[in-house]
Amino acid sequence: MLKNTCFVNRLIAHMRFINFEKKLKKFDIFNLNDIRKIEVKFDLRRLNEWMGKGYIRKIRRGHYIFSDLAINEQALFLISNTIYSPSYISLEMAFSFYGLIPESVYEITSVTSKKTNRFKSDIAVFTYKHIKPELMFGYKLENYNNRRYLMSEMEKALLDYLYLMPGIKNKKDFEGLRFNAAEFKAKADMDKLKRYLHTFHCKALSARVNAFVEYIKDA
């Protein structure tokens, strides 16, 4: 009788998770607000129980994914946007996305109008660099799995990087980036780069960008 009762309880608990998963499966990542929308009185202790059983994984406090989620680059971009918003993918990760640097990037790098932050999970490390709210532009929507994530435009990724890395300013520094000059010259919109640069209202940045453009021309 006791064995039967335990079996029934385990079955009920598993069915409870199946029902929960069915309602939230459309999300690649979900948070406590999403959970409350489907079950107002949800018992948060279940999350620890389901993590212990390997059903779900925590990305950061209050944000979770189902353990069977296919983890690829685009899923990581979507997760990055979601766990710290507003933000968009930029800097080294955007360079890699556009084929501008040869190295693999092991952190998902973004910029945000919030404070600089970093979250380490068992699927990736997510880093965020602060920029002024008025500089949160120059990104586009990319589609993935019926969802959308924000990716910096190529030109804005370069400006974000040079703005946040003032030590990168001469030919030697640029050579250290191992930038794909041919790819940049073929795809970058130089008029857009100039327009976006003007929005920064920063003479020092303008000088570094102009030096970089001259370097690219000769590379």
Last residue of a domain, one of 17, 48, 66: 66
The 8-class DSSP code of residue 14 comes to H
Strand 56-60 relative to strand 63-66, pairing: antiparallel
Do 152 and 208 share a domain, yes or no? yes
Do 52 and 160 share a domain, yes or no? no
Give the number of domains in the chain: 2
Q: How does pLDDT run across 137-150, given as a tens digit for each residue?
A: 999 999 998 889 99
Do 156 and 124 share a domain, yes or no? yes
Arithmetic mean of pLDDT over the chain: 92
Do 11 and 111 share a domain, yes or no? no
**Amino acid of residue 215:** Y
DSSP H helices, 53-187, are 73-83, 91-97, 154-164, 171-177, 181-187
Q: What is the pLDDT of residue 14?
A: 78
Do 114 and 213 share a domain, yes or no? yes
CATH number for 100: 3.30.460
Do 60 and 79 share a domain, yes or no? no
Do 28 and 78 share a domain, yes or no? no
Which range (36-40, 94-98, 159-163) has the least confidence?
Answer: 36-40
Banded pLDDT at 2 (limits 50, 70, 90): very low
Last residue of a domain, one of 18, 42, 66: 66
Do 41 and 81 share a domain, yes or no? no
Do 136 and 29 share a domain, yes or no? no
Last residue of a domain, one of 47, 66, 85: 66
Mean pLDDT within 61-88: 95
Do 86 and 165 share a domain, yes or no? yes
Do 125 and 28 share a domain, yes or no? no
Best CA proximity match to 93, nearest among 133, 125, 57, 117: 125
Domain interval for residue 135: 73-218
Distance CA 80, CA 109 (A): 8
Q: What is the pLDDT of residue 117?
A: 98
Q: How does pLDDT run across 86-140, given as a tens digit for each residue?
A: 999 999 999 999 999 987 888 999 999 999 999 999 999 999 999 999 999 999 9
Do 60 and 119 share a domain, yes or no? no
Q: What angle do CA 115, 121, 127 make, to 5 degrees?
A: 30
Give the CA dihedral 162, 163, 165, 171, nearest 10 degrees.
30
